[in-house]
Amino acid sequence: MADKEKLVARLLMNAALPLTRVLVEENPKLAEKYKGWKRIVQFQVENDPDLACHIFINDGKVEYISGRHDNPDIDFCFKNAASFNALMTGKIALPKIRGALKNFTTLAGFLPLMLGLTLLLPSKKPKDPQKRALKVKMLLYFISVALSQLNKAGDEEMKIFTGPMPDRIFQWSVAPDGPAAYLRIKKGRTKAGKGLYTRRKPFVHMLFSGNEGAFQVLTGQIDNVEAMKLGYLTVDGSPEYGKDIASFMKKIEAMVS
How many Cβ atoms from other residues are within 10 Å of residue 80's Cβ?
17
Residues 112 and 133 occupy one common structural domain: no
What residue numbers bound the domain in which 32 lies? 2-119
CATH number at residue 170: 3.30.1050.10
Q: What is the pTM of this model?
A: 0.95
Shortest CA distance to 183 belongs to which of 3, 15, 12? 15
Instruction: Give the model's pLDDT for residue 257.
Output: 79
Of 88, 119, 150, which one is at a domain's C-terminal end? 119
Q: How many domains does the chain have?
A: 2
Q: What whole-number distance in Å separates Cα of residue 42 and Cα of residue 58?
A: 14
* Amino acid at residue number 149: Q
In-domain check, residue 67:
yes
Residues 103 and 151 occupy one common structural domain: no
Residues 97 and 157 occupy one common structural domain: no
**CA 28, 212, 63 angle in degrees (round to 5)?**
35
Answer for the pair 28, 176: CB distance below 8 angstroms, yes or no.
no
Sequence-ordered alpha helix ranges (H) in 43-95:
81-88
Of 119, 145, 174, which one is at a domain's C-terminal end? 119
In-domain check, residue 229:
yes
Q: What whole-number distance in Å separates Cα of residue 94 and Cα of residue 119?
A: 21
In-domain check, residue 223:
yes
Residues 46 and 73 occupy one common structural domain: yes
In-domain check, residue 98:
yes
**pLDDT per position in the chain (257 positions), as tens?**
448 999 999 999 999 999 999 999 999 999 999 999 999 999 999 989 999 999 999 999 999 999 999 999 999 999 999 999 999 998 988 899 999 999 999 999 999 999 999 999 999 999 999 999 999 999 999 999 999 999 999 999 999 999 999 999 999 999 999 999 999 999 999 999 999 999 999 999 999 999 999 999 999 999 999 999 999 999 999 989 999 999 999 999 999 87
Answer for the pair 59, 34: CB distance below 8 angstroms, yes or no.
yes
